[in-house]
Amino acid sequence: MDDCERLPAGHFFAGLKRNGYPVIYADPPWSFVTRTEAGQGRSPSQHYATRSLDEIKADPVADLAAEDCHLFLWTTGPMVAAGMHVDVIRAWGFKPSSLAFVWVKTNAPDSIRYSENWDDVLFAGAGFTTRQNAELVVLARRGAPKRAATDVRQIVVTRRWEHSRKPAEVRRRIERYTGTTGVELYSRASGPGWDIFGNEVGKFDEVG
């Protein structure tokens, strides 16, 4: 039986475990500035409510983290280049560790199998420099959490889906790496054994 104290009503994460999660998996609704009208359709704000960096930093994630905790944080190339992900990690009470996963997006489930041209295989997203083909998950730690597996690979190659939908394979690799589950923040899809928090929880459950 779960005997962890739950955060009270009125808390930002009301109902979740107080300092009860050895793993936190987060995909914050980052806001981005688009520089052209053509880029507006790909802006996150056109698909879901976004929040400023300061708002995300202020989220009391430290209230969820166990004494020894892994944080897996989705971010983007421009944010990494500017170091903004580190500001969030530290505000949440963690220390930056490594680049855990790189999701390389493809155009179709079978495109790698049948195409000999990588320009056809790889999705070409927006970008003010090079066209973005990948999204990143950085790893941070609080305390001294241990890894359960040493053979978890960094590169994840799958098709892209709806805007902001992330591959379930990343969650599976996190489970293998840590040996457990935890809480998924700002989620739009549920995962077995995970506590879930977000404004649109379950949105992608029905689409596989």
CA distance 206 to 208: 6
Q: What is the pLDDT of residue 165?
A: 81
CA distance 194 to 27: 14
> Which domains are assigned to the chain?
21-207 (3.40.50)
- Stated as kind and residue range, the H or E segment containing 53 is helix 53-58
CA distance 58 to 79: 17
pLDDT(81) > 70 = yes
> What tokens appear for 151 in the block?
């053979």
Q: What is the pLDDT of residue 126?
A: 58
* Residue bearing the bigger pLDDT, 44 or 9: 9
> What tokens appear for 18 in the block?
């107080």
Q: What is the pLDDT of residue 170?
A: 96
Q: How many other CB atoms are found less than 10 A from the CB of residue 12?
A: 13
Name the nearest CA neighbour of 15 among 28, 25, 23, 5: 5
- Highest mean pLDDT: which range of 63-72, 80-89, 113-122: 63-72
pLDDT per residue as tens digits for the range 28-77: 999 854 444 544 444 444 435 789 999 999 999 999 999 999 999 999 88
